[in-house]
Structure 1
Amino acid sequence: MPTLDWIGKAAVVNHHRKVGYHLLRCDRELSAGDVDAGNLLVQGDNLLALKALLPYYAGRVKCIYIDPPYNTGNEGWVYNDNVNSPEIRQWIEATVGKEGEDLSRHDKWLCMMYPRLALLRDFLTEDGVIFISIDDFEAHRLRLIVEEVFGAQNFIAQLVWDKTRKNDAKLFSVGHEYVLAFARSLATLKERKTVWREQKPGAREIFDFWKSAKARHGNDFQAIQSELRAWYRELPRNHPSKKLSRYKWVDQYGPWRDRDISWPGGGGPRYDVPHPVTLLPCKVPEAGWRFATTEEMQRQVRVGLVEFREDHTEPPFRKAHLLPTPEELATGNEEAEEEVENGSEEEEAGLLVMPSLIQKQAQVSVKLLRRIFEGRKVFPNPKDHEVLARLIRYVTGPNDIILDSFGGSGTTAHAVLQINRDTEGSERRFILVEMLPEVAVEITAERIRRVVAGVPGVPGLGGGFRFCKLGAGLFDDSGNIAGEVKFPDLAAHVFFTETGLPIPKRAKADSPLLGVHHGKAVYLLFNGVLGDKRPAGGNVLTHSVAQDLPVHPAGKGPRVVYGEACRLGPKSLEQYGITFRQVPFELKVD
């Protein structure tokens, strides 16, 4: 596979492994709203912040969106790594001009991006996705280094975001940017038969009308249908919901229309389906039943997705809801599933595949940010939260985590909060990192605070976040555990070191047992967690300490104990079923 080379690459390819772990310290005064909502805003260099977050969120983030510096030569970005290498010092110390020294400028940008991309990959779930905004200055170089970090086989698409037209351009009006999309594992997405879809224009308005009518009429579906059909008639001819007026029936799942219950293409199964009133078998469609087995047919009937005629002389029909239920998309036969994958099912319903061209004027987000900040212009070129919400909603579920390590004006947080307000049952969470203290406090946090509570002209979305700052390193200059490190801090790092996964829940300093992974129980002796049993306050594994360890949760199994020292010999360790690891020497920093 072709790769990209540049001055300093050798020094940064593995630099993310050498970055030290730091503590995170939350600031309640800068937090806002519901601080227990699971949302975080971290102020600090994003390379250090990502490493600090890794023990808690590795493999748990479903979607990453970043909007890094575009390196146009007109910006004073500050994401510089102080790597002690002659090659890196060469581009750090060089003065990068706007016009000249292009090679140095691109080298510098690539050296900044590479280790951050390498860390970001470790946060994604196996079916996770990363979106990266970029323009023509670095798009081609970015594509190559993302292919190197994520694998060329995991490329999904390069979206085009058409934002504006520049009438003062000399040659062409270049008003677009790109959004590069890569999967952590495209093979996993295919294996899980992942299908992404978004709502058709007008579908949300219909569904919202149904919800409001249901609030008034309860389960009086006839009354709701009457209101819905009257509403359709009153819509302007060019209204997008007008095109979906075939969804004129309603039930507990929402508006629906009738669909054929035949097997696609003919040759489907034939079995008896009793009519609920006459109890006689319904007429079988000429092409056979849609569902492969009588059990699947009865399941569809049971959950209310099959509508029978007045008697058995005609086949029933399927309900196709405006927003299909999981049962509707789980069709029960491979041929019908192929039809779903080819798009005909969702095309007929209120769902569509997202195109690779996004059209949204840039000035919309500029005006919104000014409105949020009561007329002040606080940030150049903010991204559009509705476009980000569209991308995030497209690839995530209701309980997923979204990460943005170039937090900027806080657009990603705004998008997640908007989705949660607009989508019933959505409890998506965001993690943002912003490097500059003044931006993090005065713009990023302030924007989130204002959209949570609401300001004139911008309704409050609810939710909240914790504001965190980078604290001291986990290790001091001598390589020992830093003095301000507490038991929960070290516990998260120990569990991640041993398993490669985040700790199941925040550890408390009342038990050395941190959790179990693949049958192996992990323990930490630190700060006298078992009480002050000499020597060294219980941080040393002795016979007394080993006997006081909590038993393996399964009653029996391997145990790994991290501690300051061990006074037990090999036979005793084998007797207790313990593998000992010495802190800090056997704690990885990569």
Structure 2
Amino acid sequence: MPTLTWIGKDKVINHHHDVPFRILDPQYSYGTPSPDLGEGRAEGNRIIHGDNLEALKALLPYYEGRIKCIYIDPPYNTGNEGWVYNDNVSDPKLKRWLGKVVGKESEDLSRHDKWLCMMYPRLQLLHRLLADDGAIFVSIDDNEQASLKLVMDEIWGPGNFVSSIVWQKNFAPKNDAKHFSTDTESIIAYAKSLTLLKIYRLKRSEKNLQNYKNPDNDIRGLWASSDLLRMEHRDNSVYTITSPSGRQWAPEPGTSWRHPEPELIELVKNNRIWFGLDGNTKPRRKRFLSEIKEGVIPQTLWKHEEVGNTQEAKKEVNSIFKGTNERFPTPKPTRLIERILQIATGPNDIILDSFAGSGTTAHAVLNLNKQDGGNRQFILVEMEDYAETITAERVRRVIDGYGGKDGTGGEFTYYELGPALFTENGLLNEDLPLNRIREYIWYSETRLPFLSTPKTENETPHFLGKLFETAYYFYYQPNELTTLDYDFLSTVQTPAEQYVIYADNCLISPDWLQQRHIIFKKIPRDISRF
């Protein structure tokens, strides 16, 4: 398989492992939570302010393998510095990060090298968060489309490429363009596993349904006709069809009918061939609306009439913020993201956007939930300082209503990225809430989200939970040393075939522990980093 090489790749290819794990620090909640979020989904919608690389790492204990649909609209790397996304990736934060991770080589990077160094570890973490039956959709233009495709092949696997969708973002030519008026962008789609991916069919539009009529009052209902000719010659399908009026029809040279003659005779008997009201027109196959698969399979050309365009998106943002908002001159229309959600998610799925911008993805999720009564969840990550004043503010206005439009309802919790779990010298950060540390330990052992475990009577508060006949304990006290000894073991009440117990020290011999299927893990030495 062809792979892409660039300066700095060797430094970032495994960098996602080195990203510090930071906690999510809730700041406030807004709106009314849904009365039924479903089992294990009580976390609700999230908007996170902070570096999206660190935020994606922070999401792993809660969402690894659970995100059904990821949509991202990363910087296109156009070389244009004059707008909010700093699109040529010369942002000072990125420069500092490149200097730290890539080293002195970063001074010689082209803007394409920088873009790839920025994207690679983020795509690695997104891959981990995506569900096995999920899909990722990435908006991009021609500046990095070819590079992105090769990187996605490397991380997702070329066999999991779904499609490259063409979105018509403009509907009128730009006469000031230097060579061509750029009217389209790409949305590249990959599955975590193509064999498990489900793409939902789109509802038939009124335009689609206009083709279905019932001129002969067939009891099977509305139908549309299709051509009976095949544009190739097949010996067993070349014959003459006689219409009710007596007129005869034969395929032209080089063509043939779509059905062998015995099949055609049966179709005529069952009134599935249409010869016109007078019985004298060229025969066509009747296809009944009630018998075809529900919905329309999505195509790869998305026209602006169906999913919106850049001009529509600008008007939408300006309507929400009651005036011109120059910070986002090229936002995505909500209808575009709604189309992605319609084909890639069910009513209870989780959607992630780690380049959230003005919050279009949350807007689309709330719209779709209102339309079909669904309970999709969104997670937005935005690193810029407008995360609260624009991203979250847009979601608040969509929930409550704006510009004469009724609100969608819904809720979200706003987070800042909190401190790192480990200090620079590798110790646990004792200032962190204990429950956040417990969540991390449980995830590091099980790769599952931490749920509060019902305690048995007299069970120690250090009990984390039980999974596959292994009981887990995290014996930790901030600013104190804890010791696994016989006194502590006397507090263990949960029967299990194996025990994993974390503590600062252990006074019991390894042989004694081994005989009783007890695994001691020293804090912080034996805590896994991921």
* Aligned equivalent of 2:266: none
Q: Which runs of 5+ in 1 are unaligned?
A: 95-102, 203-238, 247-255, 260-285, 288-314, 316-342, 529-534
For 1:277-316, list aligned pairs within 5 A.
none
Residue of structure 2 aligned with 1:112, choices 115, 118, 121: 118
| Structure 2 residue matching 1:198: 3-state secondary structure | coil
* Aligned equivalent of 1:403: 352
2:24–2:417 contact (8 Å) kept in structure 1:
yes
Matched, 1:188 2:196: yes
1:20–1:48 contact (8 Å) kept in structure 2:
yes
| Structure 2 residue matching 1:41: 3-state secondary structure | strand
Deviation at 1:392, TM superposition (A): 1.2
The number of residue pairs the alignment matches comes to 439
1:46–1:435 contact (8 Å) kept in structure 2:
yes
Residue of structure 2 aligned with 1:171, choices 149, 171, 179: 179
Larger CA deviation: 539-548 vs 411-420: 539-548
- Which protein has the bigger helix share? 1
TM-score normalized with structure 2 length: 0.77
Q: Which residue identity lines up with residue 372 of structure 1 in the other structure?
A: I
1:488–1:506 contact (8 Å) kept in structure 2:
no
Q: Which residue identity lines up with residue 200 of structure 1 in the other structure?
A: R
Residue of structure 2 aligned with 1:578, choices 515, 518, 522: 518
Q: Distance in 2 between matches of 1:451 and 1:414?
A: 7
| Structure 2 residue matching 1:351: 3-state secondary structure | coil
* Aligned equivalent of 2:504: 564
Q: Which runs of 5+ in 2 are unaligned?
A: 34-41, 215-219, 224-261, 264-269, 271-286
Residue of structure 2 aligned with 1:197, choices 191, 195, 201: 201
| Structure 2 residue matching 1:199: 3-state secondary structure | coil
Matched, 1:511 2:461: yes
Q: Distance in 2 between matches of 1:183 and 1:409?
A: 26
1:410–1:444 contact (8 Å) kept in structure 2:
yes
Residue of structure 2 aligned with 1:70, choices 73, 76, 83: 76
Deviation at 1:199, TM superposition (A): 0.8
Q: Distance in 2 between matches of 1:506 and 1:362?
A: 48
Larger CA deviation: 412-421 vs 482-491: 482-491
| Structure 2 residue matching 1:392: 3-state secondary structure | helix
Q: Distance in 2 between matches of 1:195 and 1:443?
A: 32
Residue of structure 1 aligned with 2:446, choices 494, 499, 505: 499
1:91–1:108 contact (8 Å) kept in structure 2:
no
* Aligned equivalent of 2:392: 445
* Aligned equivalent of 2:493: 550
Matched, 1:588 2:505: no
Residue of structure 2 aligned with 1:352, choices 290, 296, 314: 296
* Aligned equivalent of 1:524: 474
Deviations 1:80-109 (A, max 9, x none): 274576883446546xxxxxxxx6100000
* Aligned equivalent of 1:88: 102
Deviations 1:323-354 (A, max 9, x none): xxxxxxxxxxxxxxxxxxxx998983550110
* Aligned equivalent of 1:384: 333
**CA-based RMSD:** 2.9
| Structure 1 residue matching 2:150: 3-state secondary structure | helix
Q: Percent of pairs identical after alignment?
A: 40
Q: Distance in 1 between matches of 2:415 and 2:101?
A: 33
For 1:441-480, list aligned pairs within 5 A.
441-480=388-427
2:222–2:290 contact (8 Å) kept in structure 1:
no
Q: Distance in 1 between matches of 2:222 and 2:100?
A: 70
2:460–2:492 contact (8 Å) kept in structure 1:
no
Deviation at 1:575, TM superposition (A): 4.8
Residue of structure 1 aligned with 2:379, choices 431, 434, 438: 431
Deviation at 1:521, TM superposition (A): 2.4
Distance 1:395 1:482, change over 3 A: same
* Aligned equivalent of 2:250: none
Deviations 1:1-41 (A, max 9, x none): 1100011000000000011100111111xx32135770000
Deviation at 1:547, TM superposition (A): 1.8
Deviation at 1:61, TM superposition (A): 0.6
1:492–1:506 contact (8 Å) kept in structure 2:
no
Deviations 1:468-517 (A, max 9, x none): 00111001122111122222111111112112232245899973232333
| Structure 1 residue matching 2:205: 3-state secondary structure | coil
| Structure 1 residue matching 2:405: 3-state secondary structure | coil
Deviation at 1:245, TM superposition (A): 7.1
* Aligned equivalent of 1:145: 151
For 1:315-354, list aligned pairs within 5 A.
348=292, 350-354=294-298
* Aligned equivalent of 2:370: 421
Deviations 1:504-562 (A, max 9, x none): 4589997323233333222211238xxxxxx946x32111111212313xxx3212122
TM-score normalized with structure 1 length: 0.69
Deviation at 1:242, TM superposition (A): 4.6
2:422–2:429 contact (8 Å) kept in structure 1:
yes
1:371–1:458 contact (8 Å) kept in structure 2:
no
* Aligned equivalent of 1:362: 310
